[in-house]
Structure 1
Amino acid sequence: MEKTIKEQKTVLIILLCNLFIAFLGISLIIPVMPSFMDMMNLSGKTMGSLVAIFAMAQLIMSPFAGRWVDIYGRKKIIVIGLFIYGISEIIFGLGTNVYMLYISRMLGGVSAAFIMPGVTAYVADITSVQERPKVMGYVSAAISTGFIIGPGIGGFIAEFGVRLPFFFAAAIAFLACISSIFILKEPLTKEQLEEISANKKQSNFISDLKKSFHPLYFIAFIIVFVLSFGLSAYETVFSLYSDHKFGFTPKDIATIITISSIFGVVVQVFMFGKMVDKLGEKKLIQLCLIIGAILAVVTTVISSYLAILAVTCFIFLAFDLLRPALTTFLSKAAEKEQGFVAGMNSTYTSLGNIVGPAIGGMLFDVNINYPFLFAAVIMVIGLGLTVIWKETQLTESLAK
């Protein structure tokens, strides 16, 4: 079903909107969480647990969702994921006790585990190898844009009621679900799904996990982990770091993150495809890791607002380019097993999102500079792994 981007424009817009809506819903609740915390007398530990349980549910479900994407089809898993997401937001909005909130966040993690691999596999199916880097840049930009404007929309809606952002998120999720049912078509034929399904039935979760250790995939998956680990650790302590070291106000911090994110989105949309064409995925990944490691160290020695803004812009950009570069590489290596690769991609991302903030927070308590220095070390390790990452592995896979 590979066609040009122009021929697939409507389908691509729906897929990107699905991702945008999912991450918009995740971020638009950020401004109301403190109010929810006070209203329900929740502790900081409980709030942290609500964040962790989302990532844990996504981690557990991602491998299974990746298998189901290959067995039952991309469209079904995307639609189910959007429906579960809508339900999770309604439960949170109606929540009157902490157990309802936990159930909501668990369902939210499950929905993310469904939506991400479903959309990634669908995009890989309908794009040519030549156009895939450009489209993966769009995918990453859709995610980033959802995160950027979510808090602003959430804060505006919350003026009319603290629980309204959750119901708004549910409404747009159900709208996306319905539009996907009527507009999206399964990109694989019935025969292709049956062939993949027959192969999948001979494997299981353990075998899929073992397969992720294959030299073709493993280093890329480890870098996925490094990316999510480093980024989540960086983002977790950035606001605390800025407040403790420089006395930045919430508005100052929000401005830095917003400008940096917008800068990353613009480069992803207009430059990512060209950068991959010129450098290739491996060299672009290495360049991003080098820049990320250097700037993480630089963060600990600068002090002016403009310097922090400039450094944050480029370190966010490095992370934003790393994600689609890795996704593009893995989608090329996956051939017909897009669901497996997308599911494992989500698994390693979730693992990094769980471990990164925990270690970043502990290091911050010891020394406020340590989380950034540690993130730099992790990225250098990731860079070292790419040195032994043979490009011939990808060539051999594609030739099979």
Structure 2
Amino acid sequence: MNRNEKLNRIFLILLSLFVVMLGYGILLPVLPYYTERLALKDNFDTDTINFHIGLLTSVYPFFQLLFVVVWGKLSDKYGRKPIIIVGLIGFVIMQLFTGLATSLTMLYAARIFGGIFSSSVIPVSNAYLSDMTSQKQRTKIMAWSGMAVSAGVIFGPVIGGFLSQSDLHFAYSFGQLHFNRFSVPFFAVALFGLLVLFLVLKWLKPSKRTNTVIFKLPKLKISFSAQFVALLLLSFVLQFSITLFETVFSIFGKEELRFTVNQIAIGFMLCGSVMAVLQPVFASYGEKVLSTNQQIAIGLLVSGISLIALPFLKGEFTVYGLIVVYAIGGAMVTPNLLSGVSLISKEDTGRNLSLQSSMNSMGQILGPVIGTWLIAGGFYYPFITAGTTALAAIGLVYFLKQQYKEADRVLLADQHINK
């Protein structure tokens, strides 16, 4: 495979990741308003609206968690490309039905459907990238993957906020389906997803495995190294804090800060922009200044403190500044965790990535549910909980450092014996 062909394949995979996360990002600033509108239409108690916002956010990763290994196994059997295509088709359908929803039940059904099919795109795309890159290139390519994901979170809220606030005045009904200005952002991303689907169908070649990445169904007896367990727990903590922040900030902005949809979208855009730009920077140059463990520890410290401070400082630009600081911390942690998991084992890379994706999904499930539950006591509680959890996770980094030292000591002892 020549360099240009390899770059074209990488571009198509990154584009697939981007469009899926674009669909995720579009809903972030709109969800509180969209849920409230549908709940009031269905005569739901207004006190339960925040609960439904959390549940609608959580149900998506819950079904991703259930199906991620299934899609991974199918990609081992039938190839990465067909499974990515199926995921993109499901993604387009989900966006269309989200835009046409006229009740919370229909919105739940769309989110469940999307969770099932989108769970094939992200881990299988990462496996495709891993198939065609060497271990030396793995950190950089995973950082670019993280950048594509973050870019979706940058542009998604902006597009969602802008298009949902359009001055278009129209409404069309088709039985139980309804199309109006609130449908516009979801139809826009569905069209983009359809374009990406056609590009993948035509130009993406099946991957030939340079590194054999195999998705394995978790067995009852799996030998986890201490390093791997620590990395999985860190992945859970990071996703827990991110999704709790994303869910609660949209409600916090709407109810406490009195932000418009566009102002909430700017907050998400800043977060995604900083993470997208800095992840490749930290992946490429971070180790020249700080070790992997130091980057993770400092990233968690910065993220934790900024989350705790957020509900106490309510000026618009102060809030945006804290979001930027939070994103810098996240950008330090994410690529190092991805790289660390992918390098744990040559033989079980696919299984390890699959398990990390499952832990990410667990964090994404619990974050919104716990966050919206804690809102009942005040907005301070969810942000303090997420920040304290991130700070507590620094202890895992110290443990990880000790385990790496022990592994190096054993390796040196074995080499000395072999001599």
Contact 2:138 2:339 in 1 (8 A): yes
287 and 72 in structure 1: CA distance in 2 versus 1, 3 angstrom threshold: farther
Instruction: Tell me which residue corresponds to 2:154.
Output: 148
Asked if the contact 2:342/2:352 (under 8 Å) is kept, the reply is yes
Q: From 63, 70, 73, give the equivalent of 2:69.
A: 63
The range that moved more, 241-250 or 62-71, is 241-250
Residue 195 of structure 2, aligned match among 150, 155, 175: 175
Alignment partner of 2:182 out of 136, 157, 162: 162
Contact 2:143 2:279 in 1 (8 A): yes
Q: Partners of 1:354 and 1:178 in 2: how far apart?
A: 32
Q: Structure 1 segments of 4 or more deviating over 6 A?
A: 393-397
The match for 1:226 is: 237
Query: Does the 8 Å contact 2:237/2:389 carry over to 1?
Result: yes
Q: Percent identity?
A: 26
Q: Distance in 2 between matches of 1:354 and 1:265?
A: 23
- Counterpart CA distance in 2 for 1:192 and 1:359 is 38
Q: Which residue of structure 2 aligns with residue 24 of structure 1?
A: 22
Q: Counterparts of 2:203 and 2:375 in 1: how far apart (Å)?
A: 48
The answer (yes or no) to whether the contact 2:29–2:264 under 8 Å persists in 1 is no
Q: Look up the equivalent residue of 2:195 and give its one-letter code.
A: L
Specify whether residues 168 and 261 from structure 1 end up closer, same or farther in structure 2 by C-alpha distance, changes over 3 A only. closer
Check whether the contact 2:131–2:209 (CA below 8 A) recurs between aligned residues: no
Query: Would you say the 8 A contact 2:296–2:333 is kept in 1?
Result: yes
- One-letter amino acid matched to 1:102: Y
1:391 maps onto 2:404 in alignment:
yes
Q: Structure 1 residues 304 and 205, CA, compared in 2 at 3 Å: closer, same or farther?
A: same
Query: 68, 79, 87: which is aligned to 1:81?
Result: 87
| Alpha-carbon distance between aligned partners in 2 of 1:234 and 1:133, rounded to the nearest angstrom | 26
- Contact 1:27/1:147, CA 8 A, preserved across alignment: yes
Deviation of the 1:242 alpha carbon: 5.3
For 1:62 and 1:378, the matched residues in 2 are separated by 26
Q: Residue 124 of structure 2 is aligned with which of 118, 124, 129?
A: 118
Q: Distance in 2 between matches of 1:49 and 1:367?
A: 19
Structure 1: runs of 5 or more not aligned:
none
Distance 1:364 1:30, change over 3 A: closer
Q: CA deviation at 1:226?
A: 0.3
Whole-angstrom distance in 1 between the partners of 2:297 and 2:211: 39
Contact 2:240–2:367, Cα closer than 8 Å, also in 1: yes
Question: TM-score when scaled to structure 1?
Answer: 0.83
The 3 A distance-change label for structure 1 pair 394 and 233 is farther
In structure 1, the partner of 2:178 is none
CA contact (8 A) 1:216 1:394 kept: no
CA deviations over 1:296-335 (Å, ceiling 9, x no partner): 3333554554443322211122123322221111112242
The residue number in structure 2 matching 1:262 is 273
Which one has a bigger Cα radius of gyration? 2
1:267-346 paired onto structure 2 within 5 Å: 267-299=278-310, 301-302=312-313, 304-346=315-357
> Partner amino acid for 2:301?
I
Q: 1:107 to 1:268 in 2, by over 3 A?
A: same
- Does structure 2 conserve the Cα–Cα contact (< 8 Å) formed by 1:52 and 1:354? yes
Give the corresponding residue for 1:38.
Answer: 37
Quick one: distance in 1 between partners of 2:336 and 2:390?
15
Deviation at 1:217, TM superposition (A): 1.9
Aligned residues: 387
**Separation of aligned partners in 2, 1:351 and 1:307:** 31
Distance 1:36 1:360 in 2: 17
Structure 2: distance between partners of 1:140 and 1:249 = 28
1:107 maps to a residue whose letter is F
- Residue 118 of structure 1: how far off its partner (Å): 0.7
Aligned to 2:133: 127
Give 2:172's aligned residue.
none
